[in-house]
Every structure is written in C-alpha cells, then in structure tokens.
Amino acid sequence: MFDVGEVAVYPGHGVGRIESIEEKEFSGTKQSFYIIRILDTDMTIMIPTDGAKNAGLRGVIDACDVSRVYDILRDKNIVHDNSPWNRRYKEYMERIKSGSIYEVATVLKELYNLRYWKELSFGEKKMFEMARNLITKELSMSIGTEEVMVEQEIEEIFLANNSNQKGNTANHHKG
C-alpha cells in the first residue's frame, strides 16, 4: 500500500509519484485507484489499488541494492546475440516490463555493448534510451543524487568495460 506523495516504480514507465488515491465507480462497482504521475513523461496512470502488486507497482529499490545494479552493468560476460532485432525487441520489452531493475540493467548492458560493435538501429536506440532513463531515474531517487551523476557513473562503467574489451577482442570486431 502506497500513500499520497510517495514514489513508486511502474514497469515500463519508470518512477512516478502517487498524486492521489481516488474511488471510481464502474458498472456499479466502486474501486480505489492510485493516480500516479510518471516523473519522466508527466503521464498520469490509474492503477487499481487491489491490483497494484499484480501490475508490478513497487517501491524504489533501497540504496543498499544499487551496488547490485552497478555489478550487473560491470559484468564482463557479454553475449553477442545475433538474432533478428524483432526477436530481441520482444525479449527486451518483456524484461523491461517485468518491473525488475536488474532485468532493465541487463537490457541496458546488452544494448550498450551492441552499440560498441555496430551502429544501433532506430528501434535499438529508442530501447537503449528507455532502459538508460529507467535505470538513471530510479538509481538517482534511491541514492538521492542528481540524475546526471548516475549517468556519468554508468558511462564510466561502460567506457572501462569497452576499453578492457578492446585489447581482448580487437580480432573479433565486425567491421
């Protein structure tokens, strides 16, 4: 149960603030809804309070869990998925909509590393931006810092990963 003014994460949309809890009537049945405003897009979403957990609405991760996200991003195990974009898109969207910041971090890492090997398509770029924004907003809320600081930290992680890879994988680069 969330209170008015609290922040929560809605899968696929990101961090939002509970603006109100309202009762609405549909077909003669009264139901309570969270009215949540997504911070990045200013979009307002109504989520039934009794179905919020099933919808994936959750609190922002604790500051002590942020290091796990950074560990996922630092992980040097890289899988170069050569499957068609539409198949990867479906898999990435499922991960993003799972509501797990750890799944979103995996998507971001895979797309960042793919960006190292080739120019991302329009769809891949949009997915990359979505994953990066979701991660950045939640981590900055969790640790109480500016988003730009989180973005710099993520960028430094990937620059370090790719500079380490360069020497090891230069022969495998697709030109």
Residue type, 99: G
* Residue limits of CATH 1.20.58.1290 in the chain: 63-172
Residues in the chain: 175
Whether the Cβ atoms of residue 165 and residue 74 lie closer than 8 Å to each other: no
* Residue limits of CATH 2.40.10.170 in the chain: 7-55
Average pLDDT over residues 107-127: 91
Residue type, 5: G
pLDDT tens per residue, range 35-79: 999 998 999 999 999 999 999 999 999 999 999 999 999 998 876
Fold of 63-172: Methane Monooxygenase Hydroxylase; Chain G, domain 1 (1.20.58)
CA distances from 13 to 29, 47, 74, 89 (A): 28, 13, 24, 16
CA 38 from centre of chain? 13
What does 104-130 look like in DSSP terms, one character per residue? HHHHHHHHHHHHHHSPPPHHHHHHHHH
The model's pTM: 0.86
Question: Which CATH number does 7-55 carry?
Answer: 2.40.10.170
